[in-house]
Structure 1
Amino acid sequence: MTTPILPQRIAFLGDYLPRLCGIATFTHDLSEAIAAAAPATDCFVGAVNDRPERYDYPPRVRFEMQEKDLDSYRRAADFLNFSNADVLCVQHEFGIYGGQAGSHLLALLKEVRMPVVTTLHTVLREPNAAQRKVMEELVRRSDRVVVMAHKGAEILRETYQVPDSKVDIIAHGIPDMPFVDSSCYKAQFGVEGRKVLLTFGLLGPGKGIEHVIEALPEIVRQHPNVVYLILGATHPHLIAHEGERYRLSLERLAEDRGVKEHVIFYNRFVSLDDLKEFIGATDIYLTPYLNEAQVTSGTLAYVFGAGKAVVSTPYWHAQELLADERGVLVPFRNPAAISSAVCGLLDDPARMEKIRHDAHAMGREMIWPAVAHRYLESFQHARADRKAIPRTAFAGWTLENRPYELPPLRLDHVIRMSDGTGIFQHAIFNVPNFHEGYCTDDNARAFILCSMLDELGGQPPAENLGRLATSYLAFLAAALDYKTGRFRNFMSHGRQWLEAAGSEDSHARALWAAGIGAGRSRNDGHSRLSAQLFERGLAAVTDFTSPRAWSFTLLGIHEFLRRFPSNTAISAMRVTLTGRLVALWNACSTEHWPWFEDSVTYENARFCQALIFSGQWLPDPAALEIGLKSLRWLVSIQKTQSGCFRPIGSNGFYQRDGARADFDQQPLEAQAMVAACNEAFRATQDSSWTREARRAFEWFLGRNDLGLPLYDFTTGGCGDGLHHDRVNENQGAESTLAFHLALAEMNCAEHLTTPPPHNS
């Protein structure tokens, strides 16, 4: 029997100390344990940063990625390929990577050439659509996946159809702590002679600590010497959004319940050595978490393996670890059950001692040296299972696989065109034209762009993006006449509205933007205001006759229902508007004219996109097929013999049985085609749609009738159209936003549309 050859170089990817989070601690401990278990192996780390100023990392960290910068993931893949890593070990948690549901990680995984072993710290039984897509792609691009409990493997099998043969169950690693009496550690904390209850970890509302405090009066009545130690800093992301509100609420609750002398808050992220001493002083550990769907808890593993009695709510990891009376499970949100369980253990020292011994014995299988050995076996398995020899770094970089690099984001001209009121409509060359003022159409598009960029991350800095988004949303709020429920459109430079109500199309674009703000914004104020605008403005659409307004509204409804899926009135409106578009198609389309109207005019692909969305989400297979069929025809009539995108021109458009206008070509058409084709790919997984999306996007960059780029790389602006002999050099808001929205669409889709690696 030959001895397996260990990997020469192992790369780890995830958060890393000194960043304060559980994943950072895990990545550190795992990489150190494997480095100790395989001293001849070069172990190095790629760290994910959540702030621009980075961290003071130790030498083991050899490359870094900015959480929200998509390009940094591609650069990291290049680094891994050139460093000839034999295995990549990824720590996955949805919240630590950029993009929708952490989708930026996929941009790296599609490029790396070595076997990938991914540790899933969260496995969702009921993912939303974005989480499901990311998880399925993540599993597909991983050679092995590791979960820390049997429940995780069960969910992978039942929810994501992952075969058991691809899954390794490896316990959460823990430090090797001796079985000792808690009295040995209490004096140094000044709690000698007292019974110590402990909860530790980053603080946040999901921890359920308030229910333990509610239980304390009864516990203290029966055992007056009890003290409850709450150890850990508030989660940094929670601090950024709401400060210490949760901790302060706990402190007030302890005072209100008369137990403030029995509660100790230690607001620190402690080192491992200090943590061992806190655990050593503990008599009973409490995890009163509120959510069953937690498949891994590092804090539970640490304390359990140290041989401590545990009282826990029955989240999945606790159910598994504390089975067979290795701990005590209590119902969620039940202070009476917590006090009964704690007092029951304190009243029965013999029972508590048996629980401790059983936990410590089982914990020997979880210490880091044992876990490192299991991971090395998984790495070996991944390398043996690789069906094809890993490609070298450049072998897959043909134009077929990497047609071009997307331009970097440059919002200079968007910022130049914006002031405290909103974004100006027009420009003279690259200079804002104050005389033409503002319009709701463009401020809606600008707000949509900010929402998409906030999900994608990267540049500009979050504070700049937030300021721009606030201005554009404030414009939309001012545009709505609350008495009539209609959005106005045109505003002068002097901030005077020039009409009582805008067009149906402009009203619907405002609803689209409000729907995106309601459904996607991570700013609570933006989300709530957007929802209010959406609900106030939606009723007017009932009387609209513009099919494009119906389509824009459907796009907004889709976004709104992402966050509020149970809103029956808005769901009913989706059914109504979808039915109107389908009826329009049935009344107008023929075999040779598969379209909704007797003319093909402007922003045409939005019809198709709206029906593709509705067809998927209602679901309505007939609507989906109409959306795809009409889009195929639109693609066919907007393509030249040389293979470039040629949108219907605005100088006459295209009438049934008439000649089509080839010019002037508008950026809005290319952007709509990019969005619709990318959505068609998501609905069908047919890669031909990604090629059409790229074709339409390349129109901006010079793959067009004149071979001239409309996008200006020096200013970040986009020309207002393509004439028969030249580019319109004025860089207005509509055109510039069309380019940047198309670029955002391409970046959103890019990591989900590349062909899978050869071994998949």
Structure 2
Amino acid sequence: MKIAYISTYAPRQCGIATFAHDILSAISFNDQDKKIDQHVFALTDEGEIYDYPDDVVFSIAQHTLADYIKAAEYINQHQYDVCVLEHEYGIFGGKSGDFILSLIDNLDIPLVVNLHTVLKRPSVDERSILNRIAQRASKLVVMSQFAIELLTQVYKIKETKILLIPHGVPQFSVEHQDAKQKLNLSDRKVIMTFGFIGRSKGIDVAIKALPALVAKFPEVLYLVVGKTHPTTLKRTGEEYRHYLEELVEELNLQNNVRFVNLFVDIADLSLYLSACDIYITPYVNEAQITSGTLSFAVGAGAAVLSTPYWHAKEMLAEGRGVLFNFNDDKKLAHILLDLFSNPDKLDTVRQKAYLYGQELSWNKLGVRYINLFERVVLRQVEEDAVNQLKKIALYFPEFDLTHIKRLTNHVGILQHAKYATPNYHHGYCLDDNSRAMLLALMAYELYPSEELEGLISTYLNYVHYMQLDSGKFRNFMSFSNEFLDDEGTEDSFGRTIWSLGYLLKAAPFNSFYQMGKELFFNAVPHFKTMKSVRAVAYNIMGVTYYLEHQPNDKDVLAELSAMAHYIVSEYRQNSGENWQWFEKIISYDNALLPLSILRAGTILKDDVLIEVGMESFKFLDQLIFEKGYLSIIGNTKWYVEGAERSKFGQQPIEVSTVILLYDQTHKITQDEKYLTKMISSFQWFLGKNELHLSLYDPETKGCCDGLESHGVNRNQGAESTICFWISYMHVKRVLTALT
């Protein structure tokens, strides 16, 4: 994974620069396999030149709009996987920092944004900028729960787009007393504040609280560690620092206040924090959504005293610190006296802070950031795949059952066609009328109409007419309505159960449901007699659809388990190290077998069935997609273990169950590649096949019967056209669910 960071960066003296450096270090610490490349696109303030480390590959001049656009182009051209934006209004050029929008609007990759400031009362520009950023971002990261409330309530951003990851803290390796000794402070009670100096930090409030404390504990030392903020320095110079120094002299605290006028690095900061007994953040207003200094102090196990700004109220809850009112030096003095006078109480606060701080270490948070980046990259890949599928779907034909109706009369659907003309010589069969009923039911769910109600009725009547008193079915009938067999095949029985099971789930009328239920349960006693694994698999398909409607039917659940484990027993007998299949031959409607086992395993919550289903699926998947497009086993010469497979005689019936299989495996694994293969399989009908020829006829709305070595079999029989439209309906349903 390759990550681009947009941020200020060391050696620039800036809290966000430190934050960005800490994230990079934390991710590097957790990237044991060295699979992650991290580069920084550093914001450089006007008139400054920094000796950036190798992490920085691009410098963006803060007030040069063209640099932002060039940075986006660089990121797009150098194959980064994700961009991370450290957002703070003041570090970017333009009005309220709006130059950053030109960068993110030109990015082609996922964007993660760490929000360092979320304003409760933003200006019109500030609100607009943050909303634009939120629209573009894959995920917004905030460091407090209150920030989530502001984003959802003030900015109307969906909470699903927001993730809370607290501000990280460094590893504190030096013990408290050892740190004091290193700083020659062993005999002092150490109070500390660090960070950029400015009037909003309220340091004068802390100094005013000291005289009462020093009167009882003259060994108290207040360390004020940090330089004046660069922006403040340019605007008003050291005016505030001079004021603080004068205040110290006025209160005669020269021995009790020490200014460390440095921008300290992490190592020195860790030492100072480890040495302090009490840490103070006396900020003068509540509008501080995140404070890295506060997080660091808690992580170091200091007892923290703070005014009740937003971040402090969350961080110091449950006794992890003590709050006092804004500008209330008297209350602060009282709290300091109380804690130093009661060492056990002070130790309790320190211990609670320390335990909480252990969960804030950058090394732990680095794992959370890696997981976040991987998720947004994967989601982008999935979204790209879905969007590509939707684009492909734009070229699908319009739904049209003209040829199905051409083949259907008042009796049922005729088996075969001569080109696109019904061929009366071969009459009707149960297989095709059952399939046609399944198609009509699926179509009715998406496009309900009286015409489809009539088709369902016609095909259901044929099924009813062909059922024997025993519950089995005849299959063939001539055009003159004469029965041509005494009893149909196991496969035709199973295909009928499939369509009846679907009818019991999706019947448009109660009368259809009642007839279907009677036909279905008349046939159930024969489930146990089936020997053909395909017939059993067809039965399973119907039973699983029925159980989607009646999930607590214990008798049918038992039938399902028995049938599924029968197929598994056949798998155990026939499969081997290099042959994960149910028979010693791969013949027709092959995807049906793993499909039925996976559906059964899902209904029964049976891991054995899921395992066998996935093993056999992966074996078949390698065979039919080894060329990068669907190339099913042809029936000219079926595939025997160890022999040559047939390239031609590819038929639509194979493709329809392949499509159902890929959808089922996607539901189980959530792997988007199976959706892609599902769509690619449908494109077999449209020319993505061995001959690069379309089997679908846009003039007749029918589908040709197969791919032969001499070309396309141009006859458009019932089976091929039904399988085309069933495939179409299923793909349409899946794509509709994705929108």
**Structure 2 counterpart of 1:78:** 73
Asked whether 1:384 is paired with 2:339, we answer no
Which of 249, 254, 261 in structure 1 is aligned with 2:243?
Answer: 249
Alignment of 1:356 with 2:354, yes or no, is: no
Task: Measure how far apart 1:30 and its partner are.
Answer: 0.5
Q: Deviations over 1:38-82 (max 9, x none)?
A: 221111111000033421000010111011111100000000001
Cα separation, 1, equivalents of 2:285 and 2:137? 28
Match of 2:45 in 1: 50
State the match for 2:314 in structure 1.
320
Aligned residue in 2 for 1:92: 87
Cα distance in 2 for residues equivalent to 1:191 and 1:65: 43
8 Å Cα contact 1:309-1:352 kept in structure 2: yes
Please state how far the C-alpha of 1:14 moved relative to its aligned partner.
0.4
CA distance in 2, matches of 1:250, 1:127: 31
Residue 324 of structure 2 is matched in structure 1 by 330
1:20 maps to which of 8, 13, 17? 13
> Residue 50 of structure 1 contacts residue 67 of structure 1 at CA under 8 Å; is this kept in 2?
yes
Alignment deviations for residues 640-699 of structure 1 (CA, whole Å, 9 cap, x no partner): xxxxxxxxxxxxxxxxxxxxxxxxxxxxxxxxxxxxxxxxxxxxxxxxxxxxxxxxxxxx
Contact kept in structure 2, 1:206 and 1:290, CA below 8 Å: yes
Moved more, 297-306 or 255-264: 255-264
CA distance in 1, matches of 2:295, 2:158: 26
Give the structure with higher Rg (CA).
2
CA distance in 2, matches of 1:190, 1:180: 14
Q: Which residues of 2 match residues 626-637 of structure 1 at below 5 A?
A: none
Counterpart-to-counterpart distance in 1, 2:312 and 2:19: 19
1:305 Cα deviation after fit: 0.7
Q: Structure 2: which amino acid aligns with 1:200? A: F
Matches within 5 A, 1:582-597: none
Cα deviation, residue 178, structure 1: 4.3
Secondary structure, aligned partner of 1:372: helix
Could you tell me how far apart the structure 2 residues matched to 1:352 and 1:359 are?
11
* Cα separation, 2, equivalents of 1:338 and 1:196: 15
Residue 23 of structure 1 deviates from its aligned partner by 0.3
**1:594-605 aligned within 5 A:** none
SS in 1 for 2:186: coil
Q: Percent identity?
A: 38
How far the C-alpha of 1:237 sits from its partner, in A, is 1.4
The aligned amino acid for 2:42 is A
Q: Among residues 268, 290, 293, which one is paired with 1:274 in the alignment?
A: 268
Secondary structure, in 3 states, of the residue corresponding to 2:108? coil
> Could you tell me how far 1:34 is from its partner in structure 2?
1.1
Q: Could you say what secondary structure the match of 2:222 adopts? A: strand
Contact residue 304 and residue 363 of structure 1 kept, 8 A: yes
> Would the alpha carbon gap of residues 337 and 48 (structure 1) be closer, same or farther in structure 2, given more than 3 Å must change?
same
Asked whether the equivalents of residues 312 and 330 of structure 1 are also in contact (C-alpha less than 8 Å), the reply is: yes
Partner residue in 2 for 1:115: 110
Cα deviations by residue, 1:313-341 (Å, 9 ceiling, x for unpaired) = 11111100100111000000100011111
Matched, 1:104 2:103: no
2: CA distance between counterparts of 1:317 and 1:384? Answer: 32
State the alpha-carbon separation in 2 of the partners of residues 185 and 170 from structure 1.
29
Q: TM-score, normalization: structure 2? A: 0.51
Please name the residue that 1:347 is paired with.
341
1:128 to 102, 123, 132: 123
Q: Conserved in 1, the CA contact under 8 Å of 2:30 and 2:363? A: yes
Aligned partners of 1:289, 1:53: CA distance in 2, in Å?
Answer: 29
Preserved contact between residue 274 and residue 301 of structure 2 (Cα < 8 Å)? no
Q: Is the 8 A contact 2:7 2:41 kept in 1?
A: yes
Aligned partner of 1:32: which letter?
S
Q: Is the 8 A contact 1:113 1:390 kept in 2?
A: no
Find the partner of 2:194 among 184, 200, 212. 200
Secondary structure of the residue aligned to 1:370 is helix
Structure 2 residue corresponding to 1:189, chosen from 179, 183, 188: 183
1:298: how far off?
0.5
Per-residue CA deviation, residues 502-558 of structure 1 (Å, 9 max, x unaligned), is xxxxxxxxxxxxxxxxxxxxxxxxxxxxxxxxxxxxxxxxxxxxxxxxxxxxxxxxx
Cα deviation per residue 1:571-614 (whole Å; 9 max; x = unaligned)? xxxxxxxxxxxxxxxxxxxxxxxxxxxxxxxxxxxxxxxxxxxx
Quote the offset at 1:179 in angstroms: 7.5
Query: Matches of 1:388 and 1:89 in 2, distance apart?
Result: 19
Partner of residue 36 from structure 1, selected from 23, 29, 37:
29
Is the Cα–Cα contact under 8 Å of residues 65 and 72 in structure 1 kept in the other structure?
yes
SS at match of 2:359: coil
**Aligned partner of 1:272: which letter?**
I
The equivalent residue for 1:139 is: 134
Q: 1:301 aligns with which of 291, 295, 298?
A: 295
CA distance in 2, matches of 1:68, 1:179: 42
Alignment of 1:711-726 (within 5 A): none
Deviation at 1:186, TM superposition (A): 2.2
- Mapped partners of 2:170, 2:229: distance in 1: 23
- Residue of structure 2 equivalent to 1:484: none
Deviations 1:602-633 (A, max 9, x none): xxxxxxxxxxxxxxxxxxxxxxxxxxxxxxxx
Partner in structure 2 of residue 230 of structure 1: 224
1:9–1:109 distance in 2 versus 1, CA, 3 Å: same
Deviation per CA, 1:372-403: give whole Å up to 9, x if none: 111122212322333742999xxxxxxxxxxx
- Cα deviation 1:9-36 (Å, max 9, x = unaligned): 0111100000001000001111121122
Structure 1 residue aligned with 2:209: 215
1:145 match: secondary structure: strand
Q: Would you say how many aligned residue pairs link Structure 1 and Structure 2?
A: 386
Q: Pairwise CA RMSD of aligned residues?
A: 1.9
Give the TM-score taking structure 1 as reference length. 0.50
Mapped contact 1:77–1:111 kept (Cα < 8 A): yes
Amino acid at match of 1:251: E
CA contact (8 A) 2:46 2:63 kept: no
Structure 1 match to 2:165: 170
Counterparts of 1:12 and 1:60 in 2: how far apart (Å)?
A: 10
In 2, Cα distance between equivalents of 1:222 and 1:156: 46
The structure whose RCO (Cα within 8 Å, separation 6+) is larger is 1
1:372 maps to a residue whose letter is G
Question: Secondary structure of the residue that 1:323 maps to in structure 2?
Answer: coil
1:113, 1:391 within 8 Å by CA — same for their partners in 2?
Answer: no
Kept in 1: contact 2:93–2:100 (CA 8 A): yes
Following the alignment from structure 2 to structure 1, what is the Cα–Cα distance between the partners of residues 238 and 47?
A: 23
Asked if 2 retains the 8 angstrom alpha-carbon contact of 1:179 and 1:306, the reply is no
SS of the residue aligned with 1:310?
strand
Measure the CA separation in 1 of the matches of 2:283 and 2:386: 45
Distance in 2, matches of 1:391 and 1:90, equals 26
- Distance in 2 separating the partners of 1:231 and 1:133: 36
The question of whether the paired residues in 1 share the 8 Å contact of 2:226 and 2:261 is answered with: yes
1:150 counterpart = 2:145:
yes
SS in 2 for 1:177: coil
Task: Report the Cα offset of residue 203 of structure 1.
Answer: 0.7
Matched, 1:259 2:253: yes
SS at match of 2:338: helix
- Aligned runs of 1:677-692 on 2, under 5 Å? none
Aligned to 2:377, the other structure's residue is in SS state helix
CA positional deviation for 1:307: 0.7
Q: In structure 2, the residue corresponding to 1:55 is in which secondary structure? A: coil
SS in 2 for 1:389: helix
C-alpha displacement of 1:292: 0.5
Q: Which secondary structure does the structure 1 equivalent of 2:211 belong to?
A: helix
Tell me how far apart the structure 2 counterparts of residues 379 and 365 of structure 1 sit (CA, whole Å). 20
Aligned residues of 1:311 and 1:328 also touching (Cα < 8 A): yes
1:179/1:307 contact within 8 Å kept: no
What is the alpha-carbon distance in structure 1 between the residues aligned to residue 386 and residue 56 of structure 2? 25
